Chains A and B, each alone.
Chain A
Amino acid sequence: MTDILLITFAMSLLYLSIANRLMTYIRILAFQGFLLFGVTFIELNQINVANLVFILLETVVFKALAVPIFLNHVIKRNGITRVAEPFIPNFLSLIIVTLIIVTTIVLSNSIHDTNLDKTFFVVALSTLFTGLYIISTRRKIITHVMGYLIIENGVFILSLAVGNEMPMLVNLGIMLDIFASVLILGVFFNKIGDVLKDPDVNQLRNLKD
């Protein structure tokens, strides 16, 4: 069951690579939040209940609801146009993300480690690199933020892989999640919307040599 959820997660990355509208990105993020809820619920069966409830709440309340709603709010309030505006065509993006996934699968096959659940490893790493790829190929600041949130999801999956032995690391991951997202989204995105009317990354290009 975990495998099905994780593979669905990997497929959502492919969908993400060809998504055109910001709304689609937000929906995918929310969907990934629910998927992570499912994975956590099935996988973390050796840790105490209070901690599990906390982690589950984080996935549903924070990842699947609060962040997407807030992103939606930001887009509406700042009047951001609805298109993602990638630098390169969607078809190429699809190929590149596929290549990322294939590469991580090949990489994971070279590992001989019985302790490792390879599905976790593959999905986590490909999510991480897809997030980096999204950041580097999209124009808008808000898509950068979304790319960062995708990286966070990848990290969360990776932390689940060691979650039963070291629940502290999952909690640390959640701390990173909340801390960094709040820092980026809350303070700075608000201010970027206020000072620069059009939150386009090209407007943040004054500092250079």
Chain B
Amino acid sequence: MITIFLIVALLISALLYLNRNKVINYTLVVAYGVSLIAFTCYQLANPNQIELGFFKSDSLGLLLLTTLCIVAIPTLFHGYRYIATHDESRKSRGMFFAAMTLLLTATGAAYLSNHIAVTWIFVEITTLSASILIYHHRNANALEGAWKYVFICAISITFVFIGILFLSLSLKHAGVDDLSFDALQKNYAQLNPFWLKLAFLFIFTGFTAKLGLVPMYTAGIDAKDKAPAPAGALLSSILMNLGFIGIYRFYAIIAHTEIKVWANTIIIIAAFLSVFVATVYMTRIKNIKRMFAYSGIEHMGLVMLGLAAGGIGVYAAILHIVLHAFVKPSLFFQFNQVYRVYQSKSIYDVGNYFKYNKAGAIVLLLGFISATAMPPSGLFISEFMIFQSLFEAHKILILIVVLILLTMIIWGFGSNIFKLLFTPPLEIDESRIPKISPWESLSQYLLLALAVYLAYNPPVFFVQMIQDAVKLLPY
């Protein structure tokens, strides 16, 4: 099935690039959406099935694939709205959707991959397709964003490859030459700890470019700022999840060995620094889109803290990453409408959004509450569990500092969002503001509501899937 899906997706992507006809373009996009849903349903119906020797539909992969599918449908719709309101040329429209379908396909395939080299190949493809999306506007700033993204991702992908090489050195002892995650899990006892340490260091550093963690987070920020908002939504949700799955699957092997404590220390340092960096920028940032991007850095830092703390923190980390993937895209989708009203990303040019687009303003308010994890939000549950796990792991000092930093983030985030929602802007020509249909905010409401529903009243199979994913670790 995965072969058919990959071929169909590649074909659709190529046709989108080659074809210039509007009707055929959109038909292809719809066809892609349908095939993605069909593929996800098929995989959900056949869990733990190995295909082509490299792909295995385990719980973690399925969970994130379903998340991808749920986020992809509104993204394609908002991509359509974006192109329609921007008066794009026929060529750039084709490129946009071709790159987007390629990105979705590569990410989905990487989720299901059970072989570290195959994951790595698909991560490379996501870099390629994401850079096309970032360079969509073809001006100097977009070029700068794309260049930085490509360069840093190229270095980090090289790091992952070096990590794989060290991993293969550690395998030499075991006499195994199979790099699939299952085989590594089985043979963890024979892996040489020294090489495993080096491998972890490089693979972790490499994947932080996708996950958005110190030290490689910088690429993602510029990329999310410069990419069109629907693409930014993908970069800040499913692509971050790709970084998470890469680290998690490898960490699941490390966690069985003696170097687990050492690896936890590395993760905690990187995660804590990420929250710190996010705080520094969030409190003084003036560009709304970059603010959303930094908020993603903060959340990934928390996720990694949960993972390193262990216990209930691992469950919370996976829950958090799923919920975050619903909340952040809705903010990015909504930002596109904000931009249509004010034609600016700067906090100085915007304001009084309630007056111009009520439905959208409520989305921003709810999105703010969700992203800062205040109680009605779903992220509150997962963050609370992460804090609980930090407490249980006797990392009280880190917990206290992180809580203080989070408070500062809420202040920075809040002061910008409330300025956008309530304070009237200095100069604005109200006659030029377009009327925005409330229906365009529907998908954001649905995504935010889904995040609340999954956190407070999770269906049994959802909990079961997360628990299966947690079982990869030894507890």
Q: Are A209 and B168 in contact (CB under 8 A)?
A: no
The answer to whether A176 and B158 touch (CB under 8 A), given A165-B177, A207-B226, is: yes
A152 to B290, CA, bound (A): 32
B177 contact set on A, CB distance < 8 A? 165-166
Q: Are A209 and B157 in contact (CB under 8 A)?
A: no
Q: Are B147 and A209 in contact (CB under 8 A)?
A: no
Chain B count of residues within 8 A CB distance of the other chain = 44
Q: Are B281 and A209 in contact (CB under 8 A)?
A: yes
A182 to B252, CA, bound (A): 34
B120: nearest chain-A partner, CB-CB: A172
Q: Are A166 and B226 in contact (CB under 8 A)?
A: no
Q: Are B158 and A151 in contact (CB under 8 A)?
A: yes
Chain A count of residues within 8 A CB distance of the other chain = 38
The answer to whether A209 and B120 touch (CB under 8 A), given A155-B158, A165-B168, A195-B143, is: no
Q: Are B148 and A207 in contact (CB under 8 A)?
A: yes
B192: nearest chain-A partner, CB-CB: A113
Q: Are B131 and A209 in contact (CB under 8 A)?
A: no
A135 contact set on B, CB distance < 8 A? 155
Chain B 274-293 interface mask (CB, 8 Å, partner A; 1/0): 00000001001111001000
B128 contact set on A, CB distance < 8 A? 179, 183
* A111 interface residue per 8 A CB criterion: yes
* B394 interface residue per 8 A CB criterion: no
Chain B 155-176 interface mask (CB, 8 Å, partner A; 1/0): 1011001101100110011000
Closest chain-B Cβ to A112's Cβ sits at a distance in Å of 9
B127 contact set on A, CB distance < 8 A? 183
A111-165 CB contacts (< 8 Å) to partner B: 111, 113, 115-116, 128, 135, 141, 144, 148, 151-152, 155, 158-159, 161-162, 165
* B472 interface residue per 8 A CB criterion: no
* B8 interface residue per 8 A CB criterion: no
The answer to whether A207 and B168 touch (CB under 8 A), given A155-B161, A165-B177, A184-B154, is: no
Q: Are B169 and A188 in contact (CB under 8 A)?
A: no
Main secondary structure of the interface of B (DSSP, over half): helix
Closest chain-A Cβ to B223's Cβ sits at a distance in Å of 10
Chain B 101-133 interface mask (CB, 8 Å, partner A; 1/0): 000000000000000010011001001100100
Q: Are A192 and B157 in contact (CB under 8 A)?
A: no
Q: Are A207 and B144 in contact (CB under 8 A)?
A: yes
Closest chain-B Cβ to A120's Cβ sits at a distance in Å of 10
Q: Which of A175, A196, A207 contacts B145 (CB 8 A)?
A: A207
Q: Which of B140, B165, B169, B195 contacts A195 (CB 8 A)?
A: B140
The answer to whether A155 and B194 touch (CB under 8 A), given A148-B154, A168-B117, is: no
Q: Are B120 and A204 in contact (CB under 8 A)?
A: no
B194: nearest chain-A partner, CB-CB: A111
* B151 interface residue per 8 A CB criterion: yes
B241-297 CB contacts (< 8 Å) to partner A: 281, 284-287, 290
A161 contact set on B, CB distance < 8 A? 165, 169
Closest chain-A Cβ to B31's Cβ sits at a distance in Å of 28
A135 to B154, CA, bound (A): 13
* B146 interface residue per 8 A CB criterion: yes
Closest chain-A Cβ to B400's Cβ sits at a distance in Å of 27
B143 contact set on A, CB distance < 8 A? 188, 191-192, 195-196
* B437 interface residue per 8 A CB criterion: no
Q: Are A183 and B154 in contact (CB under 8 A)?
A: yes
Closest chain-A Cβ to B110's Cβ sits at a distance in Å of 15
Closest chain-B Cβ to A209's Cβ sits at a distance in Å of 5
The answer to whether A144 and B151 touch (CB under 8 A), given A115-B173, A172-B161, A209-B290, is: yes
A-B contact pairs, 25 of them (CB 8 A): A113-B194, A128-B162, A155-B158, A155-B161, A155-B165, A162-B169, A169-B117, A169-B168, A180-B124, A180-B154, A184-B151, A184-B154, A188-B143, A191-B135, A191-B143, A192-B147, A196-B140, A204-B144, A204-B148, A206-B140, A207-B148, A207-B222, A209-B281, A209-B285, A209-B286
Listed in ascending order, the chain A residues whose CB lies under 8 Å from chain B are 111, 113, 115-116, 128, 135, 141, 144, 148, 151-152, 155, 158-159, 161-162, 165-166, 168-169, 172-173, 175-176, 179-180, 183-184, 187-188, 191-192, 195-196, 204, 206-207, 209
The 5 A-B residue pairs with the shortest CB-CB distance in the complex, in nearest-first order = A180-B154, A115-B172, A204-B144, A207-B222, A162-B168
Please give 5 more A-B residue pairs, beta carbons under 8 A apart, in addition to A183-B131, A183-B150.
A113-B192, A183-B127, A184-B151, A188-B143, A209-B290
